[in-house]
Each structure stands twice: as structure tokens, then as C-alpha cells.
Amino acid sequence: MRGVFDYAVEIGLRVDNPAAHIRRKPIHSKRPTVPTREQFQQLVAAIRLSDGRADSQAKASDGADLVELLAYSGCRLDEARNLRWRDVDFDRDVITITGGERGTKNHETRTTPMNAALRQLLVRLRPESNPQPDDLIMKIKSARKCIDTATRRLGLPHLSHHTFRHFFATTAIESGGDIPTVAKMLGHKDGGALLMKTYGHLRQEHAFAVAQRINFGAEEPTNVVTLKSGQQA
């Protein structure tokens, strides 16, 4: 608005800018909703159970696989559903994230190491589908309905596909991952600035656990300071 009125003043349509003193409203970043590890396990189990029927469970299995892939890899949805088996290197324990034809958000391919959970998931999925190198790893493009049904059943807050990228980042940080390394795994190009802003919080229980591990080298605090031999304060 200020720019529009500045231009009006510049070309002689106005003599002043009535918006010159309007202050921009600050934008406060909202912390993402991130499930606990226990809630995540409950969610995956609820998706796989579906409504209990065998045919329903078979359909829901693909949704649970996509949720696990997102959570264990930190991929964006487009990145995860465009992963192909040729992008997985079990010998080197790495996956290459290309984003498919549309590419990643930063338009750069990245190679990231597999953690144990991700490797276990991919090892399980590979014999189930007997894939060719160009085959997509995921059989579905979205797990939206599966997630919504399971969260309602469990009484969890609304969760999206992107929630599991938050879950990966938070879990990696809580597991001791340093900010620059986790940022690189997520494909951030800012060295961790966005990571600190978005995921820099710690859950309360993790903060307490860290506090208990802090050690300053003394078994017990002391209030006695020795000044000279035989003298105390």
C-alpha cells in the first residue's frame, strides 16, 4: 500500500502518502504440530488395522508405508512419491532424492544416508514388490484419507503429510543430530537457519532429560571457598 501511494505522489496524483505511518503487522511463526514417537507408532498401527477386514487392511498397508517413508526419510510428499528403486543404494546405505520430473523444492538432487528405520522399511518393501530399477517405491500418491481416519479414531490433532517431515526433523534433533547436518538431510540450503526457527524447540521431557545429563565436574556443590591455608570464607 505504501508503494502504491508513493508512486501516486511521484507522478503528481497526490501530495502525501496516507499509508506512510502504517506499521507492518509482525508475522509470528506457529510451531508445527508434531506427534510424539508413541503417537506415531499408534498412528501407523491404526492405519494398518484400518477397519479390521482383510481387504481393507491390504489397501491401508500402502498408506502406512507412505507415512513411514515420509517420517523416516524427512522427504517432502512430492519427493517421497517420486522415489524409485534405482535411487536406493543398499550397499552404501544411502538414498538419492531427485523429486522426479518436477525436481526438489531447491531443484537440486541430494544424497542422504539411511537410518536404521528407513533401511528396514525399504528392505521389507523390496521383496514384496519385486521391483525393477525404474519402478516407483510408493504405490500411492497420497495417504490423506488413511491419516484422517486414523487420527479421528485415536483422538489426535489434525496431521498432514508434511507433519511427518516435522516429525523426522524433531526426532533427529532429539536423538543428538546437530542442526547443520539435519538441515542438509532435509535439503535446506541455509545452513540450518530455517531449521532453528521451525524445529529449534525441544519437547519438555527431552529438555528435562538433557538437564539431567549436564555435569560440571563436581559430585556435589560446595559453598566453601579456600582462600589460604587454614583460612576459609
Distance CA 200, CA 218 (A): 30
Query: Is 221 part of a structural domain of the chain?
Result: no
Query: Is 154 part of a structural domain of the chain?
Result: yes
What pLDDT, on a 0 to 100 scale, did the predictor assign at position 219?
Answer: 60
- CATH number of the domain at 82, please: 1.10.443.10
Of residues 135, 112, 96, 233, the one with CA closest to residue 182:
112
Mean pLDDT, rounded, of the chain: 83
What pLDDT, on a 0 to 100 scale, did the predictor assign at position 199?
Answer: 61
What are the distances in angstroms from CA 7 to CA 18, 21, 24, 199? Answer: 12, 16, 19, 40
| Cell representation of residue 221 | 556443590
For the ranges 47-61, 185-199, 217-231, the lowest mean pLDDT is seen at: 217-231
Going along 100-229, which residue ranges are E strands?
110-113, 226-228
| Cell representation of residue 134 | 525404474
- pLDDT of 148 over the 50 cut: yes
What pLDDT, on a 0 to 100 scale, did the predictor assign at position 230?
Answer: 52
Count Cβ atoms below 10 Å from residue 131 Cβ, excluding itself.
16
Count Cβ atoms below 10 Å from residue 119 Cβ, excluding itself.
16
In the chain, the number of structural domains is 1
Query: Is 46 part of a structural domain of the chain?
Result: yes
Residue in the block written with cell 528407513: 118
Query: Is 123 part of a structural domain of the chain?
Result: yes
Query: Is 90 part of a structural domain of the chain?
Result: yes
What pLDDT, on a 0 to 100 scale, did the predictor assign at position 233?
Answer: 47
Q: Name the residue range of residue 123's domain.
A: 37-201
88: confidence class by pLDDT, cuts 50, 70, 90: very high
Maximum distance among all alpha carbons in the chain?
A: 87
Q: What is the pTM of this model?
A: 0.72
Give the N- to C-terminal CA distance of the chain in Å, as an integer: 67
Query: Is 52 part of a structural domain of the chain?
Result: yes
- pLDDT of 93 over the 50 cut: yes
Cα radius of gyration rounded to whole Å, the chain: 25
What pLDDT, on a 0 to 100 scale, did the predictor assign at position 127?
Answer: 85
